[in-house]
Structure 1
Amino acid sequence: MTTKAQPAPSALALDLQDERLQDRTGLRGQYKAFLDRTRSGDLGVLPVIGGLILIWAVLQILNPIFLSPANLVNLTMESSAVGIIALGIVAVLLVAQIDLSVGSVSGLAAAVVAVTSVNMGWPVWLVILATIALGAVIGWLYGQIFNRFGVPSFVVTLAGLLGFLGLQLYTLGAKGSINLPFDSPLVYFAQLAFVPVWLSYVLAAAAAASLFTTDYFHARARQHAGLSAMSLQNIALRAGLLLAALGVTVWYLNQGRGVGWMFVLFIVLTLVLNYMLKRTQWGRFVYAVGGNPEAARRAGINVRAIYTSVFITCSTLAAVGGLLGAARLAAANQGSGTGDVNLNAIAAAVIGGTSLFGGRGSAFAAILGIIVIQSISSGLTLLNLDSSFRFMVTGVVLLLAVTLDSVARRSRTSHGKA
């Protein structure tokens, strides 16, 4: 007598299995769920955090200045502009697409900021709105070309990389460089604006309270729906650990210049995108489209609208990053958005744990990834090593991140078939 082979579980079944694992209540249940996810190949942010600890340890041994408060404050400020651009890359990668033009879009945004604020004398609020609108229009244009004509995102955004770079040069004019006045509010915000010490602790407590509140009401909603939910003990533990981590971080940075408002903006944008991805219908649709576009379409999701929305998100954040980059340098020139800006933004999203295959990742990948990249850059600069070493080391780290993602994806697939 022969038995029929059991069919491999569908993607929906695997998602439901993952949800059941995540819904286990209590600390012991959460620990078991964590072990199950790890064994199935879902390592999460563990490789990134482990790699960051290793990088910091090596660089601190080679140069004791690396982990000094002054250097870490500078590291956070230098990470913010490109980190915000990387946030947009995370959104695009979640639907298994790519945007190669974020560097050029940020450079064009920097040029627009300089021309409108210096040459035309626009007020700051209007400059900011114009920059955001520019990014949104570019993203909408990408979405229309991708959806209506079926041109791959790789080609669409590669054309944008070249076209918007040319538009940036045209906007800057013959001089090719425009300096922003040091008394500009934008320059002050990006260079000299730091959170008061007392307020930095208040913000840390507010972040922990926000996590507790969000988890608590999410758990109550699941309980009312008859689903298992995170226990109050676990919710309190998560919020307490976040409060302790943020408190120590804020205390240490305050030994230097403190916490920059630009870095706070980066964190706030990360939290907003994370909430949108994890707690809203739009976020669920993004993950569904990234996991299986055809299944999402058959489930009634407007896949075209989701693609357009992530392209708009990506280009808008790229424009904001370009604005902050220009303010940080107090200038916009032909080099704005060029060089390694494009590659670092994409590498940060991937190194931080966002899958190139779509459907897996979080907004926090941008923070982790850009801190890894900026740590390498800062550490090698302190060691007086040539920039060539930075590119080589970053390339190796990127390759390792993609390799881990591929291995984990293969492991999850084989685990699901077992």
Structure 2
Amino acid sequence: MKRGTGTVLLGLVIVWVFFQSLNQNFLSARNLSNLLLQIAVLGTLAVGMVMVLILGEIDLSVGAIAGVSAALLALLITEHGWPAWSAVAIALLAGAAIGVVHGSIITAAGIPSFIITLAGLLVWQGVQLWLVGDGGQIPIRDEAIRSIASSYLVPAFGWVLAVLVVAAFAGVRVVRRRRRTRHGLDVPTTTAEAVAVGVVAVVVLAITWVLNSYFGIPWVFVLLLALVAVCGLLLTGTPFGRHVYAIGGNREAARRAGIPVQRTVIVVFALISAIAALAGIIEASRQFSASNALGGGTLQLNAIAAAVIGGTSLFGGRGRVYQAVLGALVVGSVQNGLDLLGEPAAVKNIATGVILVVAVVLDAVGRRRRLAAGSLD
């Protein structure tokens, strides 16, 4: 019962068909555009969560880091008159610095990341409240920041992006096939590869056509895809990425192999915190303000759920960055569909929790079977 990308995609199709049968507006151009906007923050946080889960750790503070980074951004722009992109850079650096602090404490004191980031959640929520102040929110009137989550690609650029996505998917399949062939591993048939690329092409081009019939592809979703591409390349195409997988698979073996475990852990926590800061900036752009509620609620728990539902293992050493987007689409689609049906927040939380349990059970069963077969690949 090995859970793969195909299973997640099948689940996503089932979710879409189910909600479309109950509400004909679910797959409309307007609602699909709204769905992509809604998952931008969740997907961004889930990208960072995939990285930390592969490492075999967890971060419960990402929502609070998003909130405090957004508050810092708003203060610099609104009260101190900083240029927008200078304020963005400082917010991202502040997020990375928080991650360095978390990672350093975890590695120096040998304390589980669960405890340190739980404490970080409380600390940074307090800092967020202090920065925002008694007013409860800081309005952002800078047009450059507000446009991050409210701009769309013109249709021509949307088609170019769609072709690039399909080409990138095909290129990755070709490179992976050659690599497996070079190492004497089994590879899918040429027909199977062609079918996979064809299915992706049809889906991507169809969604692009639907979105272009509305306002176009949201620019913030392009930003999410760019983040996925950069982080995916970092994890699969660099020595650092191989170190992350090795540590998540077996930390002691990685240490004995000479991998700099402590440094790698610190860098990963710096990266996830910087990504959380980016998510906070995106959410502030959507709200046109930084509030004391930004990043709160179940956001960070949904980010963990999205990563795991997408296929990343809670046990470390397994996962791919693109699975963050798949998981975010599943979680976002369920919540969006329930919103269209007028269901309360309680039902959305229950549905997300049930899907998460199913994903974790599949992961645990698959892991036991791999252990019984003598492999954790």
* 1:130-154 Cα shifts (integer Å, max 9, x gaps): 1110111011111110111111101
Q: Work out the CA distance in 2 between the residues paired with 1:251 and 1:221.
A: 34
Identity of paired residues, percent? 40
Which one of 43, 49, 68 corresponds to residue 3 of structure 2?
43
- 1:341 matched to 2:299? The reply is yes
Match of 1:188 in 2: 147
Shift of 1:219: 6.2
**Residue range with higher mean Cα deviation, 210-219 or 109-118:** 210-219
Aligned to 2:108: 148
Residues 1:281 and 2:239 aligned together: yes
Q: Distance in 2 between matches of 1:81 and 1:363?
A: 15
Q: Distance in 2 between matches of 1:377 and 1:179?
A: 27
Equivalent-residue separation in structure 2 for 1:407 and 1:257 (angstroms) = 43
Gaps of 5+ in 1: 1-40
Q: Which residue of 2 aligns with 1:246?
A: 204
Offset of 1:225 from its aligned partner? 8.4
**How far, CA to CA, are the matches of 1:224 and 1:153 in structure 2?**
38
Over residues 165-217 of structure 1, what are the superposed CA-to-partner deviations in whole Å (9 max), with x where a residue is unaligned?
00001111221211111x521111212x1011011111121223334445556
> Match of 2:224?
266
Of residues 257-266 and 245-254 in structure 1, the stretch that sits farther from structure 2 once superposed is 245-254
SS at match of 1:189: coil
CA drift at 1:314: 0.8
CA deviations 1:99-120 (Å, max 9, x no partner) are 0000100010111111111111
Q: Hey, what does 1:14 align to over in structure 2?
A: none
Task: After superposing the two structures, state which structure 1 stretch, 223-232 or 249-258, moved more.
Answer: 223-232
Q: Are the counterparts in 1 of residues 29 and 210 from structure 2 also a CA contact under 8 Å? A: yes
2: CA distance, partners of 1:203 / 1:137? 33
Aligned-pair distance for 1:239?
4.9
Task: Specify the alignment match of 1:353 in structure 2.
Answer: 311
Shift of residue 327, structure 1, vs aligned partner: 0.6
Cα distance between partner residues in 1 of 2:233 and 2:256: 26
Measured in 2, the distance between the counterparts of 1:226 and 1:63 equals 49
Residue from 40, 60, 67 that aligns with 2:20:
60
CA shift for structure 1 position 90: 0.6
| Stretch of structure 1 that moved more, 218-227 or 277-286 | 218-227
Question: Deviation at 1:322?
Answer: 0.4
Any idea what the Cα deviations from partners look like across 1:290-347, whole Å, max 9, x if unmatched?
Answer: 1101111111211112211211111110000001001111111110111121111111
Q: Which residue of 2 is the match for residue 109 of structure 1?
A: 69
Cα distance in 1, alignment partners of residues 182 and 327 from structure 2: 37
The alignment status of 1:367 with 2:359, answered yes or no, reads no
Retained in 1: the 8 A contact 2:234–2:240?
yes
For the aligned residues, what is the CA RMSD?
2.2
Q: Report the equivalent of 1:164.
A: 124
Shift of 1:231: 8.7
Preserved contact between residue 190 and residue 324 of structure 1 (Cα < 8 Å): yes
* Contact in 1 for aligned 2:3/2:311 (Cα 8 Å): no
Q: In 2, distance between residues paired with 1:69 and 1:302?
A: 48
Cα displacement (A) at 1:51: 2.1
Match of 2:360 in 1: 402
Q: How far apart, in 2, do the equivalents of 1:211 and 1:351 lie?
A: 21
Contact map agreement 2:2 2:362 (CA 8 A) in 1: no
Partner of 1:87: 47
Aligned CA distance change for structure 1 residues 348 and 257 (closer, same or farther; 3 Å): same
Match for residue 159 of structure 2 among 179, 201, 204? 201
- What amino acid maps onto 1:88 in structure 2? G
Q: Could you tell me which of 29, 47, 63 is aligned with 1:69?
A: 29
Question: Match of 2:56, as an amino acid?
Answer: A
Closer, same or farther in 2 for the Cα pair 1:408/1:315, shift >3 Å? same
* SS of residue matched to 2:276: helix
1:216–1:232: 8 Å Cα contact kept in structure 2?
A: no
> C-alpha separation between the residues in 2 aligned to 1:189 and 1:106?
16
Unpaired segments of 5 or more residues in structure 2? none
Three-state SS of the structure 2 residue aligned to 1:64 is: coil
Cα distance, 1:406–1:232 mapped onto 2, change above 3 Å = closer
- Cα distance change on mapping 1:227 and 1:83 into 2, 3 Å: closer
> If you compute each CA radius of gyration, which structure gives the higher value, 1 or 2?
1
CA distance in 1, matches of 2:240, 2:189: 26
Cα distance change of structure 1 residues 231 and 272 upon mapping to structure 2, 3 Å threshold: farther
Q: Secondary structure at the match of 2:24?
A: coil
* DSSP 3-state at the match of 1:376: helix
3-state secondary structure, aligned to 2:147: helix
TM-score, structure 1 normalization: 0.84
- Secondary structure of 2:290's match? strand
Contact 1:94 1:360 in 2 (8 A): yes
Matches of 2:15 and 2:122, distance apart in 1: 35
1:315 and 2:273 matched: yes
Structure 2 counterpart of 1:184, which letter?
E
Quick one: distance in 1 between partners of 2:190 and 2:9? Answer: 27
Q: Does 1:133 align with 2:93?
A: yes
Structure 1: distance between partners of 2:80 and 2:228: 32
Taking the aligned partners of 2:172 and 2:145, their CA distance within structure 1 comes to 32
SS class of match (1:120): coil
What is the aligned partner in structure 2 of residue 15 from structure 1?
Answer: none
Runs of 4+ in structure 1 off by over 6 angstroms are 218-237
Say which SS state the counterpart of residue 27 (structure 2) adopts.
coil
